[in-house]
Amino acid sequence: MKRYIQSARYVNYDGKLLRVNDGESGLNAINRYKTQLAEEEANRLESERLAKEEARLAKEAKEAERAEKRKIPKYKDHTIVLTKDGEYYQVFDGYYFQPYDTVMYSAMPCSPDGKWDYYEDEDDYRWSDVPTELDQRDIQRKIR
C-alpha cells in the first residue's frame, strides 16, 4: 500500500505533490488523481486502437486499388513483348480472366521486329495453336 503525507494544501502521493481542493480530503485528492490517470490511459489506448484501425482500412483500400489495377490490360493491341521463356509475341485483345485473376491476351509468335512466324505448310499441326493465349504474368517486358 502506498503511503501519503498531507499538508494544509497538498498531499504527497507516489512521489508527486497533489493539490487538495477546498472541501476535499487527501484521500479524495488521491482518488481524483488515480481517476485522471485511468482516463488518460483509456484515452491513449483508444487513440492507439483508432490509429491501428485507420491504418488497416488504408491498407485494405490500397490492396483493393491494386487488385482493380491488375484487371486492366497493360499492353495495347499489336504490342511486341518478350516472354519469360525468351520468345517474342505480338499481343491482341487483352481481357481480364476471372478464374486465374489475371489478364490474358491472344498472341501471335513473331520476330523482335514484328514479322509473324508463319508455318510453311498450311496443314502443319502447329497452326492449331495460333493464336496462343498468353498470360500477362508470363510477359517479361515490352519490346515496342
Q: What is the mean pLDDT of residues 101-130?
A: 74
Give the domain ranges of the chain.
Answer: 4-69, 79-142
Non-local (6+) Cβ contacts of 140 within 8 A are 81, 82, 83, 84
Q: Is the pLDDT of residue 51 over 90?
A: yes
Predicted pLDDT at 127:
55
| C-alpha cell recorded at residue 119 | 508455318
pLDDT of residue 65: 93
At residue 36, what is the residue type? Q
More confident residue, 2 or 114: 114
Strands (E), 10-56: 10-13, 16-19
**Residue 43 vs residue 111, higher pLDDT:** 43
